[in-house]
Chains A and B, each alone.
Chain A
Amino acid sequence: MSEWIEACEVDDVDEEDVIRFDHAGKTFAIYRSPDDEFFATDGLCTHEKVHLADGLVMDDIIECPKHNGRFNYKTGAAKGAPVCVNLQTYPVKVESGKVLVQIG
Chain B
Amino acid sequence: MENEMTAATSKTVRDYSLVGESSRKAVETGLASAEWYHTDVPRKAIKELMQRSDGPAIRDTVIWFAAILASAVGGIYFWGTWWCVPFFFVYGVLYGSSSDSRWHECGHGTAFRTRWMNDVVYQIASFMLMRNPTQWRWSHARHHTDTIIVGRDAEIAVMRPPDLLKVALMFTGLLDFRYSLPGLFRQAFVGLNDEEKSYIPEMEHYKAVVAARWHVAIYIATVALAVYLRSWLPLMLIGLPRIYGSWHMVMTGLLQHIGLADNVVDHRLNTRTVYMNPISRFIYWNMNYHVEHHMFPMVPYHALPRLHEMIKHDLPTPNPSIWHAYKEVWPVLKKQLRYEDFYLKRELPPTAKPYRDEYHNFVIPAAAE
A residues in contact (CB < 8 Å) with B: 17, 47-48, 55-56, 58, 63, 65-68, 70, 79, 81-82, 84
Residues of B near A79 (CB, < 8 A) are: 115
Are A81 and B113 in contact (CB-based, < 8 A)? no
Q: A48-B33, A82-B138 are in contact. Are A63 and B297 (CB under 8 A)?
A: no
Q: A67-B141, A81-B137, A81-B138 are in contact. Are A58 and B204 (CB under 8 A)?
A: no
Bound-state Cα–Cα, A67 to B296, Å: 10
Are A68 and B297 in contact (CB-based, < 8 A)? yes
| Chain B proximity of A35: nearest CB distance (Å) | 18
Residues of A near B141 (CB, < 8 A) are: 47, 67, 81-82
Are A56 and B145 in contact (CB-based, < 8 A)? no
B144 within 8 A of partner (CB): yes
Are A58 and B52 in contact (CB-based, < 8 A)? yes
Residues of B near A65 (CB, < 8 A) are: 296-298
Residues of B near A68 (CB, < 8 A) are: 108-110, 297-298
**Restricting to B36-89, which residues have a CB under 8 Å from any CB of A?**
47, 50-52
Bound-state Cα–Cα, A65 to B141, Å: 12
Residues of A near B134 (CB, < 8 A) are: 81
Residues of A near B201 (CB, < 8 A) are: 84
B279 within 8 A of partner (CB): no
B203 within 8 A of partner (CB): yes
Residues of B near A66 (CB, < 8 A) are: 144-145, 297
Count of inter-chain pairs, beta carbons less than 8 A: 44
Interface string of B106-119 (1 = CB under 8 A from A): 00111001010000
Residues of B near A56 (CB, < 8 A) are: 47, 50-52, 298
Provide 8 A-B residue pairs closer than 8 Å at the C-beta atoms, listed in order of the A residue: A17-B47, A56-B51, A67-B144, A67-B297, A68-B108, A81-B134, A82-B138, A84-B201
**Restricting to B268-310, which residues have a CB under 8 Å from any CB of A?**
296-298
**Restricting to B127-147, which residues have a CB under 8 Å from any CB of A?**
134, 137-138, 141, 144-145
B residues in contact (CB < 8 Å) with A: 33, 47, 50-52, 108-110, 113, 115, 134, 137-138, 141, 144-145, 201, 203-204, 296-298
Residues of B near A47 (CB, < 8 A) are: 141
Q: With CB as the reference atom, state the residue of chain B lying closest to A56.
A: B50
| Chain B proximity of A85: nearest CB distance (Å) | 10
Bound-state Cα–Cα, A82 to B135, Å: 11
Q: A81-B134, A81-B204 are in contact. Are A48 and B113 (CB under 8 A)?
A: no
Are A48 and B145 in contact (CB-based, < 8 A)? yes
Bound-state Cα–Cα, A100 to B134, Å: 40
Residues of A near B204 (CB, < 8 A) are: 81, 84
| Chain A proximity of B166: nearest CB distance (Å) | 29
Bound-state Cα–Cα, A56 to B115, Å: 14
Bound-state Cα–Cα, A13 to B127, Å: 42
Bound-state Cα–Cα, A66 to B294, Å: 9
Residues of A near B109 (CB, < 8 A) are: 63, 68, 70
Residues of B near A55 (CB, < 8 A) are: 298
Q: With CB as the reference atom, state the residue of chain A lying closest to B44.
A: A14
Bound-state Cα–Cα, A86 to B5, Å: 46
CB-contact partner of B298 in A17, A63, A82, under 8 A: A63
| Chain B proximity of A81: nearest CB distance (Å) | 5
Bound-state Cα–Cα, A56 to B50, Å: 7
Additional A-B contact list (13), CB under 8 Å, known A65-B298, A68-B297: A48-B145, A56-B47, A56-B50, A56-B51, A56-B298, A63-B109, A63-B298, A67-B145, A68-B109, A68-B110, A81-B138, A81-B141, A82-B137
Bound-state Cα–Cα, A48 to B36, Å: 13
Bound-state Cα–Cα, A56 to B52, Å: 10
| Chain A proximity of B117: nearest CB distance (Å) | 14
Residues of A near B47 (CB, < 8 A) are: 17, 56
Bound-state Cα–Cα, A67 to B145, Å: 8
| Chain A proximity of B43: nearest CB distance (Å) | 8
Residues of A near B297 (CB, < 8 A) are: 65-68
| Chain B proximity of A67: nearest CB distance (Å) | 4
Residues of A near B115 (CB, < 8 A) are: 70, 79
| Chain A proximity of B131: nearest CB distance (Å) | 14
